[in-house]
Amino acid sequence: MGIPIYPVHLEDPLFQGFYDGLDAGELRITADAETGEWVWYPPEVVPGRPDAVLEWRPVSAEGKAYSFTTVIRSLLPGDHKAEVPYTVILFEPDDAPGVRIAGILVDDDGVEPACDMRLHFRPVEAGDHRIAGFAPVRR
Amino acid sequence: MKGNKIAITGIGETAFLRKGEETVMQMMTRASLAAIADAGLTPADIDGHVSNKYVGHPSEEVAHAIGAATRRFTAVADTAGGTATTGDALRLAQLAIEAGLARHVLVPYAIRSTKPGGVYGFHAREPQKAGLEMPAGFFGQPTYFATMANRYAHEFGMTEEELASVSMTYRAWAALTPSAQKRDPMDLETYRQTPMIATPLRVADCCLTTDGGGAYVVSAVEAARDLPHPVISVQGVGIGYNNYPHGVLFTQKPCTFDYPGWDSAAQAYAMAGVDPKDLNLAQVYDGFSISAIVQTEMLGLCDRGEGARFYAAGHAKPGGRMPINTSGGHMSGGYVPGINLLIEAVRQLRGQEGDRQVPDARLCAVAGLGGNNHSTTILARD
């Protein structure tokens, strides 16, 4: 399986904390600093609370796949033929119901991707940055 | 808002091409003039305009291009995709006509799918997608809808053959449609020969790349009786919304394929005073086979979770009990979001369709998807 290589555009500082987390080996998402509620994806305005402040907090590295797809033809701008196939996972952390984080399936050893499969987080090198990888949990 | 107050009195289309030479304005003008002529009107009769915020040409440009002298009413449909062209525009037109602000409202649309940046360029400009999804390789509508298809299959079951039957159904209708872009016969083997994009969606599961335009004219039912064609009235329009912005819609919504179509269908049927079983045919916004399956369920044409099996049983094919996308839809006919489905509904209800005419077609539903919004429109022949 390949790894998608696409530059992280962080002109918008809203997302810097996610990549800082990956560099630190953590999966971090945004939470309301006052209430502690997860707010994901980080919006420009927290609904109903324009004064709310968000902060990046680690979220469970264990969770499951809401869904997946194995990309055969990348639709990313540019030429990405050498990077396919790879399997995108929409990951739901155990301690953040309803939150989904896009990443790729890694260390699958031929395990077929499936909805609700148990996964654990592992950062993956993707060019000059890291992306979220998710490996099947083996019991 | 009540049904049977307005009618679609004129329809027009350009050719649907894989790659055309004309600009969006040229195509909109060509389709608009055809629709106005079809209605037995002249550009001077058009006093109302509903434009589309994604097309990029306001009504002043269209009015000038068609040679209309003035405008009395203008509005912009604040929705996307099929919702804007097949639901929202009709609702705005009815408001204007019933208020006496306009007599004949023009609704034009055109798309150049082959423009630089492609049809997914607007997603690349969404900050959440650029910042959090594209680096993970999650990009492009076929990829988004592929994850919906896998989740749908997980919840309800769906075989490859059942998924393929959607494409095969629409292709069978396209084979009967001279203006359709893809008319070659499609069986399971030829379906499987089309390239996989993102599992389980193949090229055949996706709408076409089209350069083309369409337009229609809306008039009061009373005025329609003096015009050349049978009166095709709007019996019901429903629009459902959710408030998930497009940047989060394909990942964070609790059920990513739960479009607001249940709501739009309930509104439209209530306004029209009819049930799904009263329909003779339907047009369903088929950006992808999976979204067509779900909307077929939302229209009430089959039970929830049974959409793929409904198609596999042949119910929507020529000769089936509920013909769907009778000109090939967006997947085989042409992708001019929503408007060519509405135009096909009008043609069927007029009884003009030759080989593909649905016998005694009198009531047709049109489902339009626009991301976080969805419309259902019920059209009837007098």
Range of the domain at B229: 6-115+208-381
Instruction: Give strand pairing partners of B281.
Output: B364
Give the separation between CA B140 and CA B129, rounded to whole angstroms.
10
Q: Which two tokens stand for residue B330?
A: 């967006």
Give the separation between CA B171 and CA B185, rounded to whole angstroms.
7
B234 to chain A nearest CA, in Å? 37
Q: Given B130, B196, B252, which is nearest A100 (Cβ)?
A: B252
Do the domain assignments include residue B48? yes
Do the domain assignments include residue A1? no
Instruction: Give strand pairing partners of B240.
Output: B374
Asked if pLDDT for residue B175 goes beyond 70, the answer is yes
Q: What is the mean pLDDT of residues A111-122?
A: 96
DSSP 8-state code for residue B329: I
pLDDT of residue B104: 98
Nearest CA in chain B to A84: B137
DSSP 8-state code for residue A42: P
Do the domain assignments include residue B154? no
Amino acid in the structure at residue A10: L
Do the domain assignments include residue B34? yes
Question: A12, A20, A81: which is closest to A43 by C-alpha?
Answer: A12
Q: What is the mean pLDDT of residues A118-132?
A: 96
Record: contact B137-A132, CB cut-off 8 A:
no
Record: contact A41-B247, CB cut-off 8 A:
yes
Backbone φ, ψ for residue B73 (5° rounding): -145, 135
* Residue A100 banded pLDDT, cuts 50, 70, 90: very high
Q: What is the mean pLDDT of residues A104-113?
A: 91
pLDDT of residue B117: 65
Do the domain assignments include residue A4? no
Give the separation between CA B57 and CA B54, rounded to whole angstroms.
8
Do the domain assignments include residue A86? yes
pLDDT of residue B69: 79
Query: Over pLDDT 90: what percentage of chain B?
Result: 93
Domain containing residue B17: CATH number: 3.40.47.10
Q: Which two tokens stand for residue A116?
A: 């609700």
How many domains does chain A fold into? 1
Taking only the tens place, the pLDDT of each residue in B147-165 is: 999 999 999 999 999 999 9
Q: Which two tokens stand for residue B97?
A: 């006509």
pLDDT of residue B55: 93
Give the separation between CA A98 and CA B170, rounded to whole angstroms.
35
How many domains does chain B fold into? 1
Helix B24-38 × helix B59-66 angle, to 10°: 60
Do the domain assignments include residue A92? yes
Do the domain assignments include residue A8? no
Range of the domain at A37: 13-136
Which residues of B are less than 8 Å from A76 in CB distance? 134, 137, 139-140
Q: What is the mean pLDDT of residues B10-38?
A: 97
Q: Which two tokens stand for residue B21?
A: 């030479």
Chain A CB within 8 Å of residue B116 CB: no
Record: contact B128-A75, CB cut-off 8 A:
no
Q: What is the mean pLDDT of residues A110-119?
A: 95
Do the domain assignments include residue B130? no
Record: contact B197-A73, CB cut-off 8 A:
yes
Pairing relationship of beta strands A28-32 and A101-105 according to DSSP bridges: unpaired
The mean pLDDT value of chain A amounts to: 94
The mean pLDDT value of chain B amounts to: 96
What is the secondary structure of B242-302 as a DSSP string? ----HHHHTTTSSSTT--THHHHHHHHHHHHT--GGG-SEEEE--SBHHHHHHHHHHTTSS
B198 to chain A nearest CA, in Å? 4
